[in-house]
Amino acid sequence: MKLIKAIACVCALSLGVSALAGCQKVSDVSSAPAQSQAAEPQNQELNIAVFEGGYGREVWDDLAKQFEAKNPGVKINVTANAKLGDVIRPQIMNGNPPDFIFLSSTNESGILQSLIQDKKLADITDVFTGDLKDKMIDGTLSAPTIAPYGDGKIYAAPLSYSTMGLFYNKTLFKENNWEVPETWDEFFALGEKAKAKGIGLFTYAAANDPSYNEIVVNPTIAVAGGEQALQDCLNYKKGAWKSDAVKKTFDVYQKIKDGGFLLDGTLAMTHTQSQQQFLQNKCLFIPNGNWLETEMKDAPKAQGFEYGFAGLPTFNKGDKKYIWANCEEMYIPKDAKNIPLAKKFMTFLYEDASIQTLASKAGIIPPIKGAANLVKDSIDQSVYDTFTITDKGYTPVTGSYALTSQTEVNLRDDLYQDLNQIMAGTLTTDKWSDNLEKDAETLSSLILK
């Protein structure tokens, strides 16, 4: 399940170094910045620590060999683990961190948030100079986890970039002469047609990760109130969670509940269970990301199933269309032994050959303009469709919850647990907003300066 580790640059809380001890959640670029550093001595070792998970280890072993071949005398030691935070936490605490880390801010370990809070990240602004900076997709270098201090400097780099939306079965739609809805009114009208055939309209990972609905909630708030309305919510601005934009968004879920459009049994389903129901034509839409096809490659599917990907409906035709975008970060600890070489490796990962390796071996596409076309033959069609949704007029919107000092209040968790209560009929949308506004009031006083 990659949303837990793939959601872009999104984090709710920051955990201090003390939390590191106790937290159990834990085209080729020609201007390589490392070249501006003093010439590196030969026979160097570079220690990299990477999240294994759904990506596997093979891609990193391949990249290490490629880098070594380009840099004679360099040896890369790869640490890859699904529980990477637990592995590297003691190293960080003892002042002996890896030279390079790939572990998303949404990972339960909280490693990146801790390093941000304690200002233990190396400044990597010089990685993004010249051609490389110009090639980055707009907005990907300004997220709070990338440039956390408001000082114009970059301390983490986006590696795996994805846009997320609603998946559907193209074959099912063709068989019934259905069109992908452009507005919420069309969405619910289609739901009535599906209901007549015994098919649900919508499902999600209610039992283990209702935050998949971030894919729907965040861009819909932006559609209803503009990007500023969403940023106000993410930054705990007073009144943001009781705004008209939030009300319109929450009303979409109320209508899903009241209209009987939620697939029966959804509230008891995990992500894989809801995805399996979707693949068997039990419902029309599921919010998900570009990992879905790979994650479910061996799952049984309806005959002729063909993945389709759509952006979120708008309230009115002509509304500006938004799509939720996320990234997973890589970074260099300030206490790393070989920062110049780590920067050189980081830059290497944005080169064409590396992008092709990342895509073919792990389905990772960095936020480089034109990267999807570069690797089109190496990726699933659905992955390509997610990356090129902007060609259909959708504007990527991203952001993350403002970093705060340590607290038990987690607005993001509360947001999606309350959504489950809406679907269960045990909470009103007004109370939903009230709960989040209360969280925001607490968190606003804890934002890191």
For the cut 50, the answer to whether the pLDDT of residue 402 exceeds it is yes
Question: Sorting pLDDT into bands at 50, 70 and 90, what band is 56?
Answer: confident
Question: How many domains does the chain fold into?
Answer: 2
Question: Which helix (H) or strand (E) element contains residue 191?
Answer: helix 184-196
> What's the pTM value of the predicted model, to 2 decimals?
0.79
Q: Is the same domain home to 202 and 297?
A: yes
For the cut 80, the answer to whether the pLDDT of residue 194 exceeds it is yes
**pLDDT tens profile 326-348:** 889 999 999 999 999 999 999 99
Q: Is the same domain home to 56 and 107?
A: yes
Q: Which one-letter amino acid corresponds to residue 32? A: A
**How far apart (Å, rounded) are the C-alpha atoms in residues 50 and 352?**
20
At 438, list the tokens: 């209360």
Q: Which one-letter amino acid corresponds to residue 383? A: V
Q: Is the same domain home to 84 and 31?
A: yes
For the cut 80, the answer to whether the pLDDT of residue 23 exceeds it is no
- Read off the pLDDT of each residue in 155-174 and give the average, rounded to a whole number: 96
Inside any domain, residue 387? no
For the cut 80, the answer to whether the pLDDT of residue 248 exceeds it is yes
Question: Sorting pLDDT into bands at 50, 70 and 90, what band is 356?
Answer: very high
C-alpha dihedral sign at 240, 241, 242, 247: positive
- Read off the pLDDT of each residue in 305-311 and give the average, rounded to a whole number: 97
pLDDT for 138: 82
Domain that holds residue 102: 3-162+326-380
153: CATH: 3.40.190.10
pLDDT for 42: 64
Inside any domain, residue 399? no
For the cut 50, the answer to whether the pLDDT of residue 55 exceeds it is yes
At 115, list the tokens: 């390093």
Q: Which one-letter amino acid corresponds to residue 25? A: K
Inside any domain, residue 207? yes
**How far apart (Å, rounded) are the C-alpha atoms in residues 296 and 306?**
13
Yes or no: say if 416 and 12 are a contact pair by the CB < 8 Å rule.
Answer: no
**How far apart (Å, rounded) are the C-alpha atoms in residues 383 and 385?**
5
Question: Sorting pLDDT into bands at 50, 70 and 90, what band is 310?
Answer: very high
The overall average pLDDT reported for the chain is 90
Residue in 45, 51, 83, 82 with CA at minimum distance from that of residue 64: 45
Q: Is the same domain home to 41 and 154?
A: yes
Q: Is the same domain home to 170 and 187?
A: yes
Q: Is the same domain home to 430 and 357?
A: no
Inside any domain, residue 385? no
Inside any domain, residue 153? yes
Inside any domain, residue 353? yes
At 195, list the tokens: 């209901």
